[in-house]
């Protein structure tokens, strides 16, 4: 088992939902952009709050995470809510989504080393159908001054100009760096510096 999986298994192996049970605010605001019954890939889904929200809207969710503890929570919540979510146990370094299969790819606070993030971004864009959406929220390097969540390694944080270049060829429908209050469980609590993106594949 990888160090990444071990880290997240240890973090998720508690009865509480450490990032809360409600969906991410930005995802909730942008969900109206998804066509009915969209096929959605959620990267680093964790404990299932975002996948559950979208599944309850009628979308077909594939939730990927390296943690079996996190995915067990995803599936338990889906069963309790009476919705189907496809859970995929995989390290994103070795996960290859099918090409042109998804209407949207969601990445919410899924922070990766920059070299891996570029690989995952390339695969994610390839996985989108024409017209498909990338929906992203993550912390920027300015987040380090807030200390209210996220990695302490700047290489894993989202710098706007770099992310814009990684999304080259996509239409940026929403691309904003801002400070906002993030209240998502015990690990994301307080004012934060985030980058919010919605990009559409031609």
Q: Which of 81, 40, 88, 87 is nearest to 60 (CA)?
A: 40
pLDDT at 1 over 80: no
For the segment 80-135, what is each residue's pLDDT rounded down to a tens digit?
A: 999 999 999 999 999 999 999 999 999 999 999 999 999 999 999 999 999 999 99
For the segment 60-71, what is each residue's pLDDT rounded down to a tens digit?
A: 999 999 999 999
Domains detected in the chain: 3-200 (3.40.50.150)
pTM: 0.97
Question: For all residues of the chain together, what is the average pLDDT?
Answer: 97
CA–CA gap between residue 94 and residue 128 (Å, rounded) = 18
């Amino acid at each position: 088992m990888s160090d990444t999986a071990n880290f997240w298994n240890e973090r998720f192996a508690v009865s509480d939902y450490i990032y809360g049970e409600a969906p991410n605010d930005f995802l909730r605001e942008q969900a109206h952009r998804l066509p009915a019954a969209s096929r959605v890939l959620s990267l680093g889904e964790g404990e299932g709050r975002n996948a559950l929200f979208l599944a309850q809207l009628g979308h077909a969710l594939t939730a990927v995470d390296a943690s079996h503890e996190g995915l067990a929570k995803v599936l338990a919540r889906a069963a309790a809510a009476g919705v189907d979510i496809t859970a995929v146990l995989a390290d994103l370094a070795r996960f290859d989504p099918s090409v042109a299969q998804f209407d949207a790819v969601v990445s919410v606070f899924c922070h990766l080393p920059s070299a891996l993030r570029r690989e995952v971004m390339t695969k994610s864009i390839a996985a989108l159908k024409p017209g498909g959406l990338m929906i992203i929220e993550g912390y920027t390097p300015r987040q380090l001054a807030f200390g209210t969540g996220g990695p302490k390694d700047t290489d894993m944080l989202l710098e706007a100009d770099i992310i814009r270049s990684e999304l080259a060829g996509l239409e940026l429908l929403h691309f904003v760096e801002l400070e906002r209050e993030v209240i998502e469980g015990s690990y994301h609590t307080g004012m934060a510096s985030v980058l919010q993106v919605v990009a559409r594949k031609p």
